[in-house]
Amino acid sequence: MIRALRNLPLSLRLPLLGGAMMILVGAVASQQVLSELGRVQDARLQELARLHVEGLSIALGPLVLRRDVWEVYDTLTRAAELAEGQRMVLTAVADEDGRVLAATDPRRVPTGSPIAGMADTAVPLDQLSVGARARTVDVVAPLDYQGRRVGRIVSQLDVTDLQAERRRALWLLIAGNALAIAFLTGLGYAVMRRMLRPVSVLARQMAGAGDAPQPIPAAEMPHGEGDLARLARTYNGMVDSVAAKADTDRRLAERERFVALGRLSSSLAHEINNPLGGLLNATDTIRNFPDRPDIVRGAAALLERGLQHLRDVARVTLEQNRLDRQTSVLSQTDFEDIRLLIEPELKRMAQDLDWHVPDGVVEGLMLPAAPVRQILLNLLLNASAAAGQGGRVGLYASADEAGLSFAVFDNGPGLPDAARVRLLGNVTVTPAGGGGVGLRLVRDLVKGLGGSVTHARKDGMTRICVILPQAGGRSDA
């Protein structure tokens, strides 16, 4: 029951709780009203019985002393015919010995019979009560005349009208309370639903947002300066900020990707252009010396080596940009491809490369190849740009039970603040903010793989370390 109540909307739960409280209050109030009505009815009944008994005592006193049965009967009959006597169903008068002198119904209470059988079930005047079930109540009172007790009077009173009055009051209270509770609960539901409508709109916009939160439409914005209006405006401001950050990150990633692609394309063009010059010289040699087999063989060998080099460069470039590599597993060949891709840039900058990637370092690690290649390529290109002409760039890789670790270092002037923010910070950066090429892309890729990035500067060397946890466990096979 409690769990079902918790699952109800707040706009319905609060009015139901309020209705339950009103039911409790109404029950207590109704009980008080019925108790007060019963007290008034008992007082009215006691007063009526007292007047009846006192009137009979005055009229019957001398007659009981004389034991005049007929006069006593006649007096009782005339008293029963009066308006106040209509409630008296039966009245019996007994002498001081407890013997019945007369009764309004002699067949039920014969003359001379003991009054004890009827008097034992009767109550005194001050204890007389309407009750809730019996249609009649019996009351007993002493018959006094001139200060002397001469007998007893026992009367049976009809209280069905008083009980009917009490039942009518009960049903009126129930009906009134039910109507009031139903009206107030419905009114409370309407008011609460109207008050909580902005919260419902906010919950709907957040639940149906998908990958990005949706703003609250202007037509559904609450008016005024209340808490709900401020909450809606704050939410819309947050949505705008999230959208702006996502757009900035997207444009930044595209910019850095294009910059990295441009540098890589320039290096590849330089790498391809150099062999092309040699290949053209070889073809000229073959054309000019067709009758010199030794020269032709040498030129053909040079031509073959140049074409093989161009084939390798084209293969690695295609492999780097294949869409289906997103699902392939990192292997030793991926490191060799990265080295082949960056060598043209290193040669152009006359830089030294320290390459320490042990054979089988990634064997058994279930890491995706595409993001790791992208991380390595961006870090090495950034290190080459930082090292400058004639600088030094290096890569150290190792693996253990935790996963793959590699460090890219250079002897450049160090990582600028803007580049450090791109690599390590969580704040939103703009494409115009400057910084290292592809470093924010590196941060996002490492974070997506569940890894970590650290930066250190020591002995004139800048070192960026990346730790990538293994995805599927390392095997010994």
Among the residue ranges 195-204, 257-266, 316-325, 350-359, the one predicted with the least confidence is 316-325
Q: Phi first, then psi: what are they for 356, rounded to 5°? A: -125, 85
Phi (first) and psi of residue 430, to 5 degrees: -105, 155
The pLDDT, as a whole number, for residue 83 is 47
What does the pLDDT read at residue 463?
A: 94
Which of 28-37, 322-331, 350-359, 429-438 shows the highest mean pLDDT?
Answer: 350-359
The predicted pLDDT at position 287 comes to 81
Q: How many CB atoms lie within 10 A of CB 381?
A: 23
Q: pTM above 0.75?
A: no
Q: How far apart are CA 86 and CA 92, in angstroms?
A: 15
| Closest by Cα among 272, 282, 260 to 314 | 272
DSSP 125: G
Strands (E), 2-131: 88-95, 100-103
Q: What percent of the chain has pLDDT over 70?
A: 80
Least confident span in 1-15, 65-79, 287-301, 455-469: 1-15
Q: Could you tell me which residues are beta bridge partners of residue 158?
A: 136
- In CATH, what number does 247-469 get? 3.30.565.10
pLDDT at 14 over 90: no
Q: What is the pLDDT of residues 241-265, one digit of tens each?
A: 877 777 777 777 677 666 666 656 6
Instruction: State the pLDDT confidence band at 304, using cuts at 50, 70 and 90.
Output: confident
The CA-to-CA distance between both ends of the chain, in Å, stands at 57
Whether pLDDT at 123 is above 50: yes
Q: What is the token pair recorded at 258?
A: 């294009």
**Helix (H), strand (E) at residue 152:** strand 148-158
* Distance of alpha carbon 16 from alpha carbon 360, whole angstroms: 69
Report which secondary-structure segment, H or E, holds 417.
Answer: helix 417-424
Angle between helices 369-387 and 227-288 (to 10 degrees): 80
138 with 66: CB under 8 angstroms? no
Buried b (16+ CB within 10 A) or exposed e, 338-371: bbbbbebbbeebebebeeebeeebbeebebbbbb
Domain range annotation of the chain: 2-182, 247-469
Task: Express each pLDDT in 141-168 by its tens digit.
Answer: 898 888 888 888 998 888 888 888 888 9
Going by the DSSP 8-state scheme, the letter that residue 427 receives in this structure is S
CATH topology assigned to domain 2-182: Beta-Lactamase (3.30.450)
Q: How many other CB atoms sit within 10 Å of the CB of residue 21?
A: 11
Overall size of the chain counted in residues: 477
Locate the DSSP E strands across 243-359.
352-356
**To which residue do tokens 């990634």 refer?**
362
Alpha-carbon distance of 352 to 459, in angstroms, equals 18
Mean pLDDT of the chain: 79
Dmax over Cα atoms in the chain, in whole Å? 179
Per-residue pLDDT band at 427 (split at 50, 70, 90): low
